[in-house]
Structure 1
Amino acid sequence: MLVVSMIGALLAAVCFGLSSVMQAVGMRRVGPVSQEDPRSLVRAWLTVPFLAGTGLDLLGFGFELVALRHLPLFLVQAAVASALAVTAIAATVVMKERLGRGEKLAVGAVCLGLALLGCSAGPEGATRAHTDFYTALGASLLGLAVLGFLAGRLPGRWRTPILGLCAGLCFGVLALAARTLPELDPVRLLREPATYLVAVSSLIALVLWTMALSAGAVTTATAAMVVGETVLPAVVGVLVLGDEARAGWAPVAVGGFLLAVGGALALARFGELRGGPAEGATATAAPAEAGR
């Protein structure tokens, strides 16, 4: 099952990465897009490439759930962040983007980091968490929503990174809640607090991420989001849920995590493909991460 889960994590990264490019193609087909003109956004969302990208988002989330069943969070979230490497590679083919030497090295670092994580990851910890855990997640979501609302009113350079970080932390809460879901029985899921945390966190994350994209540099927002969605779940997974590396492999796991996340941060400029407006557009649309 560990092999199947690892394949699920990698397929989730592929789906999320390709989704970014497909949605960017859809945005560019309709020309300049502005959030002040809802009709331009709707036209972009209804293009075949954008709809295909949204379908890939949903498929990627399904693969992520498979991965979370048997892999520690530090591995799954690093794999999800590596979607930026997939986006970078696909963008060179589909959108004629150019990779610099540093970005090629970053793609290599992501691949090496994931390989090290795959070799060093031990079994995941407990699945069903204590009620206090879900209460803490709910309180965290409420706090992030308030902080994001206040950050949206900030002037200057702090607005974008804070909004991006809040969105990433909400994606992290989503992963933590999804990690504790029981067997995917619809009747049982309706009784699980984790189910509702997944739904609410995804909605709040989408709103905050859209605000971050419209607030300033997409590269800044993407980098902050990657940090938020990887570091928090990894730490909580180890300290609270019992995730661990194989005996004697902890340094390798730490090194792999830093390589994978660091490589993703170096590729943050490819977060611009998530909005993907044509040159001269004034704003971007919802990102591929909305599907998570």
Structure 2
Amino acid sequence: MMSAGWLYLVAMIAVYGLANFLQAIAANKVREHKTFHPRLLLQLAVHRVYLAGIGCQILGFVLAFMARRYLPLFLVQASVAAGIGITAVLGVVFLKWRLPKSEIGLLILLSGGIVALVVSAEPSPSDQLTPAAIVALVVILIGLGVAGYFTARLQGVTGSVALGGLAGLAFGAAAVASRPLSNILDAKAFLTDPLLYLMIVYSLTGQLLLALAMQRGSTTAAVASMDAAFAAPAAAVGLLLLGDQIAAGREWLAAVGFLVTLGAVLALTRYAEPQAQGQAGRERVLEAAGAAPGRVGGPARDSA
């Protein structure tokens, strides 16, 4: 039974990587938004590429949800970061992104950190969250909304990093809610649990923040900062409140793996370079998506 968790984990990484790639294309198809407003999601919803990305994101979420039934949050959350490697490869192949050597090295380092976490994780079911913890999730949600309102004014890679970080916090909170939910087998109890609706609202909030982040110029920075903020708080909550376990004698390996993974994604936010800036960058992404085949292949960065 526990082996199923590992299968869900591998499939989740691949699907999340594809989801990020498709959403990056779609986010550059619409006019850049400078406010924290859900109309961006409504505009994106008319694009088939974005809907395909959302479909992959939903599938990835379901796979992550199932993985969390068996595996600790620190492993599942950190493994989501491995999807950025899939995103980067797809970007290089199809959109002609040019990744500097620093990004390539950091992606390799990220993979090593994930491997260490896999080796150190001890599969286990989740404990339930206390009522106080549920109230705290509601308060954090309100705080994220306020922070998103002001952060949406930032531009460039700084905006990608800041908004991506907030998206990661939202998705991390959704993951915290989903870990105990994944162990509820009774349909009525599942549908009446407040964690279900907190998980949904957090996921929608994270989706909006991620779309805004991807519009700011650097998909790598947006996804890396999202993964950094996504992993650490949720992992701490899992170990402290949800009964997540580390294999005996491998605590040091889990600590090293998590620090390496977190360090790699944080460094990616520092060294990431814009893949598409301004109108010229958007036009190239549209061409790569099929508007004008044959013109793809320009430099990865343009001056606005």
TM-score, structure 2 as length reference: 0.76
Distance in 2 of aligned mates of 1:281 and 1:167? 22
The Cα shift of 1:34 comes to 0.6
Q: Which moved more, 1:209-218 or 1:63-72?
A: 209-218
Instruction: Name the structure 2 match of 1:84.
Output: 84
Instruction: Name the structure 1 match of 2:62.
Output: 62
Distance 1:105 1:146, change over 3 A: same
Distance 1:25 1:204, change over 3 A: closer
Instruction: Name the structure 2 match of 1:112.
Output: 112
Q: Which moved more, 1:114-123 or 1:2-11?
A: 2-11
Distance in 2 of aligned mates of 1:60 and 1:149? 27
Distance 1:157 1:66, change over 3 A: closer
8 Å contact kept, 1:34–1:281: no
Q: How does 1:127-206 map to 2 (within 5 A)?
A: 127-152=127-152, 161-181=161-181, 182-206=183-207
Instruction: Name the structure 2 match of 1:289.
Output: none
Distance in 2 of aligned mates of 1:145 and 1:192? 23
The one-letter code of the counterpart of 1:18 is: L
Instruction: Name the structure 1 match of 2:245.
Output: 244
Distance 1:64 1:201, change over 3 A: same
Instruction: Name the structure 2 match of 1:290.
Output: none
> Which blocks of at least 5 consecutive residues in structure 1 are unaligned?
285-292
Number of aligned residues: 279
8 Å contact kept, 1:126–1:241: yes
Instruction: Name the structure 2 match of 1:34.
Output: 31
Distance in 1 of aligned mates of 2:27 and 2:136? 38
The one-letter code of the counterpart of 1:244 is: Q
Q: Deviations over 1:98-145 (max 9, x none)?
A: 444333322322222221111111233533222222112112212222
8 Å contact kept, 1:25–1:276: no
The one-letter code of the counterpart of 1:259 is: V
TM-score, structure 1 as length reference: 0.79
Distance 1:134 1:163, change over 3 A: same
Distance in 2 of aligned mates of 1:160 and 1:87? 16
Distance in 2 of aligned mates of 1:168 and 1:39? 20
Report percent identity of matched pairs. Answer: 34
The Cα shift of 1:54 comes to 2.1
Instruction: Name the structure 1 match of 2:292.
Output: none
Q: How does 1:257-276 map to 2 (within 5 A)?
A: 257-268=258-269
Distance 1:63 1:227, change over 3 A: same
The Cα shift of 1:179 comes to 0.8
8 Å contact kept, 2:30–2:43: no
Distance in 2 of aligned mates of 1:271 and 1:158? 11
Instruction: Name the structure 2 match of 1:253.
Output: 254
The Cα shift of 1:12 comes to 1.1
Aligned to 2:196, what secondary structure does the other structure show? helix
The one-letter code of the counterpart of 1:209 is: L
> Which blocks of at least 5 consecutive residues in structure 2 are unaligned?
286-304
Q: Which moved more, 1:73-82 or 1:123-132?
A: 123-132
Aligned CA RMSD, in angstroms, stands at: 3.6
The one-letter code of the counterpart of 2:242 is: L
Distance 1:88 1:211, change over 3 A: closer
Distance in 2 of aligned mates of 1:121 and 1:141? 29
Aligned to 1:164, what secondary structure does the other structure show? helix
The one-letter code of the counterpart of 2:230 is: E
8 Å contact kept, 1:162–1:224: yes
Q: Deviations over 1:160-181 (max 9, x none)?
A: 6544332221111101001110
Aligned to 1:91, what secondary structure does the other structure show? helix
Distance in 1 of aligned mates of 2:187 and 2:273? 34
Q: Which moved more, 1:71-80 or 1:152-161?
A: 152-161
Distance in 2 of aligned mates of 1:208 and 1:43? 14
Distance 1:4 1:133, change over 3 A: same
Distance 1:10 1:130, change over 3 A: same
Structure 2 residue 16 is the aligned partner of structure 1 residue 19 = no
